Amino acid sequence: MQWSVKRAAAIAVIVCGALGMAEFAADAAAARPSSGAHRSALLRVGHDNVTIDPSLRRFTGVVTALGAPDAEGRIYSFRASPVGPDSVPPAADEMQKWRLTILAGKRFAAVFEVQSNTQSEISVSRGAGPLNGLAVTDVFIIEEIGAANAAPDDPAAANGST
């Protein structure tokens, strides 16, 4: 019986894969707690232990256009589209005083308070500074949580000196 190169390669892959799985299984068994307590096969992981109340309303969207700047060149509004199947456009002024957090882009993690909104345009209060630096395709979330305690991430912007 002759061995072809393909057959030899296939057997080598199978043996190596089996050895790798055996090593993985041994490492996993060693990492399990020995207390005997039953653990689910599903492990939940994340960045923190914050539990978000599912009854809080939220809107996730993407910036589609920036609003017109004021006389000093500061921008306080933008146009948006919903992201995801569960995100529906809000009713007019439904999100007043809600917290807006930028999730992607140059202004990542910046927090603002919504002053007013339509189904496609969102304006923020001037207290946390302008939206300058926000760009089309940046992603954000607006949550039914007040942003009254949100500190501006750029003190110069809060003072209007940008």
Domain that holds residue 146: 58-158
Q: Which of 132, 56, 117, 130 is nearest to 82 (CA)?
A: 117
Mean pLDDT along residues 140-147: 84
Burial bucket for residue 69 (CB in 10 Å: 0-12, 13-18, 19+): middle
pLDDT in tens, 15-67: 655 555 555 455 555 555 555 555 555 555 555 666 667 778 889 999 999 99
Across the chain, mean pLDDT equals 76
Residue 25 belongs to some domain of the structure: no
pLDDT at 30: 53
Q: What is the pTM of this model?
A: 0.59
Please state whether 128 falls in left (phi above 0), alpha (psi between -120 and 50) or beta. Answer: alpha
Strand partners, 100: 112, 142
- Residue appearing with tokens 């799985």: 21
Round to whole Å and give the CA distance between 151 and 112. 9
Instruction: Report the SS3 class of residue 28.
Output: helix
Question: Is 77 domain-assigned?
Answer: yes
Residue 83 has pLDDT above 60, yes or no: yes
Domain membership of residue 28 (yes or no) is: no
CA dihedral 35, 36, 38, 42 (to 10 degrees): 60
Residue 122 included in any domain? yes
The answer on pLDDT for 128 being more than 80 is yes
CATH number for the domain spanning 145: value is 2.40.30
More confident residue, 42 or 71: 71
89 within domain boundaries? yes
